[in-house]
Structure 1
């Protein structure tokens, strides 16, 4: 079957006649006539034609033809005399080509010849050239100009590729044949592709160096949209923008598909790349040098490719052709190609005129269907160092030329596109609309949303999330829960959410009811939020457990280590107001009454010895959040931010009110956090969080800061994975979390192991804090609660001493492309009961 398919592909590429023609196949190696060392990247042509190829890094080449008149090969390489070799027509042959150094290029002989063991940056003209490019790159960057304005057109398409006839003709796709498009098999892996997405954007862009400011005016946007009940189209757009960012060849690092690749003209590039001068182009003005480069280590986040550099003293990049090695430690990527073209303006400054990025994705890197994403960006109408009116810079950084009216018709795009668009690409808009009218597709989207998001749409009401329907713990036993919430199909102003749960061991009913009013006629779960909500919740909670992106009664988190019998029964009355702005600044106000009752192995005992059945507080809270340049995908239950280099700030102040709505204590609680990812180029990236809190007032331990512990077997980045629930409390603390991924920097260089594509990870977590004497029940007996004890009399809850709590881990990620496993070590406070010094934790993480 495979031979048959490949036969069809061969015929379609070369035609029937070529099958019966005699074929000449020549392979061989190019060497220096004197040293016999191989010459990398030598150009090989059929004499008198432009048909040819290029030798690889080892000087090895293969070239073929069916033309009987092609009987001479020409070999060209800078620093060597051109070599002509006669070949036998119609035969398969292997030759060794010996090239003679040119007399006028004797100085270059030593450095341009290739020998893996002897490659050196020292006295290498290719490295000298790239160092000149690096030295002049600031002069050639747009950001070094005083002012710049230009028009920019972006086109993004996404298609399923390498589709066989068998796949296409499957009866499941009987109603979808209009979607398939026949393509050139030399470009794609199979006969058909299935376009699934397209978007276009036209903007005017303005930049000023001093004072620094950027301005984007959106002139038009167009996107193939899916049913909003199932797909967040804006989030999809944000996701593709995160994967396919603008490419700045002059930056030290180039971000593509959420990874940082070291630029071939970064300051440290000569340490990680090898460079060769492979050609000079003399029929241009100015003359260009073709500079080939490749990654020293095939697994690292590096490029292979060519730069075309001007020889006019500016050492500017005129063209760039980038790709990646097939052995790169990059998941689900079969291939990547980047083409950048620069045009000179009247001041001989080279501005980017066009960029094209194409990535071929697939589960299997060698075969099978996959996806191809293409992003083409065209630039026009550059105005350099011309005065810009102040009015350009007094509004938001991103605006529209016609507010709330950037979705333009086809007539607008026909007149304003800066690039061509094929009829096949244009048909995607119509096809996606037609697709959503097919009943089977709507059914697929419905069940797909259920599987991914966990909610089933019932028309105005979403039932779910389904992963919380069943769970268990030591106090409630088996627990069943059912619930859901209303959607915009019912009302765009009023939203209600509810659930009902029952524990078969404690035989108690738990429930939640909320009603919200949206001031902006949008779902209260989508950005930008602006709503007021009142709610009541009666349910259980583990003190000190704070889960990330999942529900607390998720079935997968029911499995816990160690002693896990402390639980709270809570009654929450809340009234909250949330306001978000387009710049991602938000604030919230909250009025809360909280009644908590201990259960299981947890009890509250006053210093007098009396047991306390419940504790009530009333508080007003005010919180601020700022996440500049935040992008996210909006799910049904929560939104997922795409991590970038920008920090996220949180600040919260809470005021406890005694004798108000039954509150028993006055207090002030101020806490805040800063989250940021630091990109360290080839050394990977670090996710860092700094957080702290200070509580003013005399309070029992349940109202103090109960530090985030984790007794599940899942690794949590911002929890202490070997700390027990309610093991530590503080009235003041500072915490530092550092989680670093090396992206395989070290493992990529170990023979055999490098083929596993594993990635190293390390983390360190430190918690500084303590209790003032007035809040430490071991030092005072006035108004505090005693720390709970185990049956043997040992304390279950403690305060931090002079030494911080320390925890670290080393891990391997990218196991089977999705799994991370960490060996976690608890460094101190090992004398506490029921603690483990070592632990193994796992985490599922999808990443490129």
Structure 2
């Protein structure tokens, strides 16, 4: 992350004259010379205003001309300031009169929950929140225009003269000033979309049909697109929690809001002939995922007319300095308030210091032409599996001039041309290549991606130092076919390994994909209960540079597979496969031997397994969000449920296959938001093998001998410590996202996040499989339930998590690990 952000923000922004007519900034103090946070600042006679931040600072801008500014807070004397100039910066405003109501108003602390008129109004909002706006109608439709923009911000003048920008000086002609923060910025990406939105409240169905899309900038960069997807995430201000950047913020209109927010009834006035109350809200505690701001609410419908809010600077969120949200609702008639404008601006930065540099992400959504109670057949709302129409992205400039809801300003109009020119500058191409390489792990050479770079070096007891090189075809994120391969060499065993695979999407609409591949390599089998046929997949345990204990129980694998899959419904995949594998121990002290005739041990043993299999699986991932429409897609995040059912039939005799058996495996993962106290991740796995199989085909409970945290493994279990031919495994892990630490004064400023979890597995091994075993592994099944628990601290220096784990059972085993410490690096919001 530290390597990517400077390259993204390496441009200078100059403050040029802008179209706004009135701009004002300053700091609000009380009469004891202490800064006054969350004071109300607005232009007199209007609803255009802001709330001061935690340090009493504010910036306010309007396209209209105003001559008076009003600053107020309950318990203080309201002050009106004459504005002599259109641009007035660095005002110092003092509010007096606090002593008169000192016993009532504690502006930097908690407001009363009793006899508070703001909370009385809030309760009326709760009663009506599911009856306002679009929810008042059986069906609805409207036209939608959405504009997403990324801008570099806060680059100082010293950078303009830096050699870093040599040859790119022309970009500085496109700087502008934010009407929210007052900072200069330079647009680097813009995306516009036109669509039609349909909904049916009787069946809770919704569908959005994209009619046109246009972008310029980093449109092929997967990481930028993932950011955009998060900006596109839908949220409803009336919901209890708003999901922004993988975090769940408490809405100021939430039923639990009175526990995390202070509310103050600040003002009341007519807005569009509707009497409205103005309520100011701000957090009760630091470091929680909350907002500060204000909203205007109608006095009869208790529908929101306008809301402005910003994420508290103390909120426990990484790489994001500020988030601003503005929503405006139009009065359709006396009782219908419809959301017509939604603007969100995010300031991405390495830290939250005022002078820090970063990138603005801005999304503006406009709605119009509403129609109601026009019923559509239910099939209409069925989601398209893989809808991709090139004509959507090829609309003419004249089409956009005629159809976009609002005209682009002069700087937005110049983005398309500027970025087209910028991409021809060699130095910019170098920066872009660096960013794309670090983000994806691949270095692109023409239509070939070299990588993944982070898998180039490994180590294990068999291969010693292992070097790997490889790559894949890449024409774009929507490629209908892809070929990928690698070769690796171990300096200890002096052997080359390789893998190659190909995928072809023969039907885009239903995502019918044919795939085939072959791999000859060394692998640590038994590090996952639920098997997959990813031909190029390699476990972290097989090449971990840092590991504890013996890492010699590795297997030589020759694996070939062919599969066909189809996605008949969105997020529901059916796959059938044929595979053939051979397995042989890769180290002299490790054996996969089995008795040729279990009833007659004198007949000898065999240590080489040949096996042909037929497989069928169902993979269901509701609410999954992905990038791309090609043969491979990338996930935007991992907060979706997954249900996986896999059946495998081993067939004896085909290609000299050794065993006849059936395997049934089930996997279910469910993230659950727990009422503002973070997320609980539950993972359930179960499986059974019908028939006799040797160790190479047995279910091995996954241990973890590395020093790193690996999902769905057991921290205190060694490789091959437990085996089972029928099993049930259950993992619980809860991430509080800093909710507990935020209540401890000396910890809250560190923005740490607490994690707790418990894992358990039960399993057995049949007598027939025990009798078949002739390997060096003594079968031990977790018949009495193996379990362990852990507690962790995340977000250490924003990038590191450390877990402390304890074994809860099987403590008397001679090789039992009772306690361990493991960690993991990662970049998370």
The TM-score by the shorter chain falls in which range?
0.7 to 0.9
- How many Å separate the matches in 1 of 2:456 and 2:562? 27
Quote the residue 2:141 is aligned against.
149
Q: Which moved more, 1:270-279 or 1:168-177?
A: 168-177
- How many Å separate the matches in 1 of 2:327 and 2:510? 36
Q: Does residue 1:626 correspond to 2:620, yes or no? A: yes
1:434-480, Cα deviation, whole Å (9 max, x unpaired): 23223333344444444443434444544333343432211222333
Q: Does residue 1:271 correspond to 2:259, yes or no? A: yes
> Which of these residues, 163, 169, 172, is aligned with residue 171 of structure 1?
163
Contact 1:669–1:693 (8 Å) recurs in 2: yes
> Which of these residues, 814, 824, 828, is aligned with residue 843 of structure 1?
824
Q: Which moved more, 1:302-311 or 1:50-59?
A: 50-59
Q: Which moved more, 1:692-701 or 1:446-455?
A: 446-455
Corresponding residue SS for 2:703? coil
Contact 1:148–1:208 (8 Å) recurs in 2: yes
Contact 1:164–1:191 (8 Å) recurs in 2: no
Q: In the TM superposition, what is the alpha-carbon distance from 1:93 to its structure 2 partner?
A: 9.9
Quote the residue 1:3 is aligned against.
none
Quote the residue 1:534 is aligned against.
516
> Which of these residues, 613, 621, 631, is aligned with residue 607 of structure 2?
613
Q: In the TM superposition, what is the alpha-carbon distance from 1:54 to its structure 2 partner?
A: 9.0
- How many Å separate the matches in 2 of 1:212 and 1:28? 50
Q: In the TM superposition, what is the alpha-carbon distance from 1:708 to its structure 2 partner?
A: 2.0
Q: Does residue 1:595 correspond to 2:589, yes or no? A: no
1:418-439, Cα deviation, whole Å (9 max, x unpaired): 2232121122222222232233
Contact 1:198–1:428 (8 Å) recurs in 2: yes
Q: Which runs of 5+ in 2 are unaligned?
A: 1-12, 61-67, 83-90
**Aligned residue runs from structure 1 range 594-743, under 5 A:** 594-600=581-587, 601-603=589-591, 604-606=593-595, 608=601, 610-633=604-627, 640-643=634-637, 646-743=640-737
Q: In the TM superposition, what is the alpha-carbon distance from 1:605 to its structure 2 partner?
A: 4.6
> Which of these residues, 349, 352, 357, is aligned with residue 369 of structure 1?
357
Q: Does residue 1:830 correspond to 2:780, yes or no? A: no
**Aligned residue runs from structure 1 range 317-356, under 5 A:** 317-346=304-333, 348-356=335-343
Quote the residue 1:130 is aligned against.
122
Corresponding residue SS for 1:566? coil
Q: 1:263 to 1:454 in 2, by over 3 A?
A: closer
Quote the residue 1:388 is aligned against.
375
Contact 2:480–2:631 (8 Å) recurs in 1: no
Contact 1:317–1:350 (8 Å) recurs in 2: yes
1:670-728, Cα deviation, whole Å (9 max, x unpaired): 11212222122420112222221121112223312112221111111221122111111
- How many Å separate the matches in 2 of 1:176 and 1:38? 42
Q: Does residue 1:761 correspond to 2:748, yes or no? A: no
Q: Does residue 1:287 correspond to 2:275, yes or no? A: yes
- How many Å separate the matches in 2 of 1:380 and 1:675? 40
- How many Å separate the matches in 1 of 2:386 and 2:563? 31
Corresponding residue SS for 1:512? strand
**Aligned residue runs from structure 1 range 140-219, under 5 A:** 140-181=132-173, 183=175, 185=177, 187=179, 192-219=184-211
Q: Does residue 1:247 correspond to 2:235, yes or no? A: yes
Contact 1:201–1:218 (8 Å) recurs in 2: yes
Q: 1:157 to 1:538 in 2, by over 3 A?
A: same
Corresponding residue SS for 2:152? strand
Contact 1:40–1:113 (8 Å) recurs in 2: no
- How many Å separate the matches in 1 of 2:389 and 2:453? 43
Q: Which moved more, 1:255-264 or 1:49-58?
A: 49-58
**Aligned residue runs from structure 1 range 503-514, under 5 A:** 503-514=490-501
Quote the residue 1:820 is aligned against.
801
- How many Å separate the matches in 2 of 1:626 and 1:266? 31
Q: In the TM superposition, what is the alpha-carbon distance from 1:237 to its structure 2 partner?
A: 3.6
Contact 1:219–1:401 (8 Å) recurs in 2: no
Q: 1:156 to 1:331 in 2, by over 3 A?
A: same
1:635-661, Cα deviation, whole Å (9 max, x unpaired): 999754233654222111100101111
Q: In the TM superposition, what is the alpha-carbon distance from 1:839 to its structure 2 partner?
A: 0.9
Q: Which moved more, 1:605-614 or 1:321-330?
A: 605-614
Q: 1:51 to 1:309 in 2, by over 3 A?
A: closer
Corresponding residue SS for 2:97? strand
Q: 1:656 to 1:414 in 2, by over 3 A?
A: same
- How many Å separate the matches in 2 of 1:270 and 1:758? 24
Q: Which moved more, 1:386-395 or 1:139-148?
A: 386-395
Q: 1:444 to 1:238 in 2, by over 3 A?
A: closer
- How many Å separate the matches in 2 of 1:400 and 1:616? 42
Corresponding residue SS for 1:142? helix
Contact 2:51–2:292 (8 Å) recurs in 1: no
Contact 1:541–1:567 (8 Å) recurs in 2: yes
Q: In the TM superposition, what is the alpha-carbon distance from 1:45 to its structure 2 partner?
A: 9.4
Q: Which runs of 5+ in 1 are unaligned?
A: 1-7, 32-36, 65-71, 87-91, 102-108, 790-794
Quote the residue 1:434 is aligned against.
421
Q: 1:60 to 1:614 in 2, by over 3 A?
A: closer
Q: 1:528 to 1:434 in 2, by over 3 A?
A: farther
Q: Which moved more, 1:258-267 or 1:160-169?
A: 160-169
Corresponding residue SS for 2:312? coil
Contact 1:262–1:682 (8 Å) recurs in 2: yes
- How many Å separate the matches in 1 of 2:538 and 2:436? 18
In the comparison of the two structures, how many residue pairs are matched?
Answer: 786
- How many Å separate the matches in 2 of 1:710 and 1:25? 55
Q: Does residue 1:470 correspond to 2:472, yes or no? A: no
Contact 2:385–2:568 (8 Å) recurs in 1: no
Higher relative CO (Cα under 8 Å, sequence separation at least 6) belongs to 2
Contact 1:467–1:555 (8 Å) recurs in 2: no
Quote the residue 2:6 is aligned against.
none
Q: In the TM superposition, what is the alpha-carbon distance from 1:576 to its structure 2 partner?
A: 2.3
Contact 1:809–1:825 (8 Å) recurs in 2: yes
Contact 1:338–1:358 (8 Å) recurs in 2: yes
- How many Å separate the matches in 1 of 2:326 and 2:430? 40
Contact 1:261–1:681 (8 Å) recurs in 2: no
> Which of these residues, 15, 28, 31, is aligned with residue 29 of structure 1?
31
- How many Å separate the matches in 2 of 1:288 and 1:240? 34
Q: Does residue 1:309 correspond to 2:297, yes or no? A: yes
- How many Å separate the matches in 2 of 1:118 and 1:238? 38
Q: In the TM superposition, what is the alpha-carbon distance from 1:100 to its structure 2 partner?
A: 10
CA RMSD of aligned residues (A): 4.2
> Which of these residues, 408, 422, 426, is aligned with residue 395 of structure 2?
408
Q: 1:493 to 1:345 in 2, by over 3 A?
A: closer
Q: Does residue 1:120 correspond to 2:112, yes or no? A: yes
Quote the residue 1:422 is aligned against.
409
Q: In the TM superposition, what is the alpha-carbon distance from 1:56 to its structure 2 partner?
A: 6.8
Q: 1:248 to 1:462 in 2, by over 3 A?
A: closer
Corresponding residue SS for 2:211? strand
Q: In the TM superposition, what is the alpha-carbon distance from 1:406 to its structure 2 partner?
A: 5.1
- How many Å separate the matches in 2 of 1:263 and 1:354? 18
Q: In the TM superposition, what is the alpha-carbon distance from 1:266 to its structure 2 partner?
A: 1.0
Contact 2:462–2:492 (8 Å) recurs in 1: yes
- How many Å separate the matches in 2 of 1:394 and 1:185? 42
Q: 1:383 to 1:118 in 2, by over 3 A?
A: closer
Q: 1:666 to 1:404 in 2, by over 3 A?
A: farther
Corresponding residue SS for 2:776? coil
- How many Å separate the matches in 2 of 1:484 and 1:162? 38
Quote the residue 1:4 is aligned against.
none
Contact 2:523–2:538 (8 Å) recurs in 1: no
